[in-house]
Amino acid sequence: MKLIAANWKMHKTPSEAREYVNKFLELYEAKQGREVLICPPFTSLCAVQETLEGSEIKLGAQNCYYEKEGAFTGEVSLKFLKELGCSYVIVGHSERRHIFGESDEIINKKVVACLEEGIRPIICVGEKLEEREAGITFKVIENQLRLALSGVENYTDRVDIAYEPVWAIGTGMPATPQDAVAVHRFIRDLIKVLNPESGMNFRVLYGGSVKPDNAKEFTKYREIDGFLVGGASLKPETFIEIVNAFKDVN
């Protein structure tokens, strides 16, 4: 099942979120073989959850903390997110890693906490421009994935991975589908090596300047199991076009 996820980042108040979801539901047509997810900021989770009520569209958060509760001012635990109806959490997004200094160790703790709570993490990995230019893209991805999943067993049916090259995020310059496919294959092969006994029910999403006019090209490749969309998910009219790029794909 393909997964098309909207990461709104720090956009949309509760009232703006309600307005968006109402419009999106008017445009949305349920189809076999694809799952749609909306990840608003924490403060709009309730509004989105209430507006989505009765639809099959899923709700996710953009971040979490790994402790269950306690003296952690400003943090949000998975238990809180679960009660609000979140079934997914984005973990280790490039902006968390590079703006907020989130380490691989913290990302690993968050992945473990998600799995313990029964929330599906979307683990983000991706190389910086200088790393791509230095020819170490696969090495960087392997390192990020090994560390994010260290000590975790039998996870292949309970996580998804998003490949988001840092240089493609918010720049209007996506990876070519061929470059994305090469990394997606690498990720799939690596996870098979790390988890030889497990199923292969995880998805590898592409993220980074996905737009209505380039989405269709990516969907031609079976290695692209979906998208994680930032800027182009902020308008229902553009996000629906990206969702519909997977219309005929199973």
Which positions touch ligand 13P (CB under 6 A)?
7, 93, 164, 169-170, 207-210, 228-232
Structure tokens at 146: 């090994």
- In sequence order, the 6+-apart residues with CB closer than 8 A to the CB of 177 are 217, 218, 220, 221, 224
Please give the residue whose beta carbon sits closest to ligand 13P in the complex.
Answer: 230
Dist CA 112 CA 77 (whole Å): 13
* Residue numbers annotated as active site: 93, 164
Q: What is the DSSP letter of 120?
A: E
Bridge-based pairing of strands 160-163 and 58-61 is: unpaired
Helix (H) or strand (E) holding 36: strand 34-39
Q: Smaller CB distance to ligand 13P: residue 121 or 208?
A: 208
Minimum distance, C-beta of residue 90 to ligand 13P, in the bound complex (Å): 7
Taking each helix axis as running N to C, give the angle between helix 14-27 and helix 45-52, from 0 to 180 degrees, rounded to the nearest 10: 30
Residue 230 CB, shortest distance to ligand 13P, in Å, is: 2
List the beta bridge partners of residue 34.
Answer: 2
Minimum distance between the CB of residue 208 and ligand 13P, rounded to whole angstroms? 5
Residue closer to ligand 13P (CB basis): 150 or 171 = 171
Closest CB 105 distance from ligand 13P, rounded Å: 22
Instruction: Find, among 78, 95, 13, 26, the residue nearest to 57 by Cα.
Output: 26
Q: Which amino acid, 202?
A: F
| Comparison of 112 and 232: residue with beta carbon closer to ligand 13P | 232
Q: Which is nearer to ligand 13P, 34 or 93 (CB)?
A: 93
**Helices first, then strands: H and E counts in the chain:** 10, 8
CA distance 54 to 70: 33
Please, which residue, 228 or 245, has the CB nearer to ligand 13P?
228
Rg of the Cα trace of the chain? Answer: 17
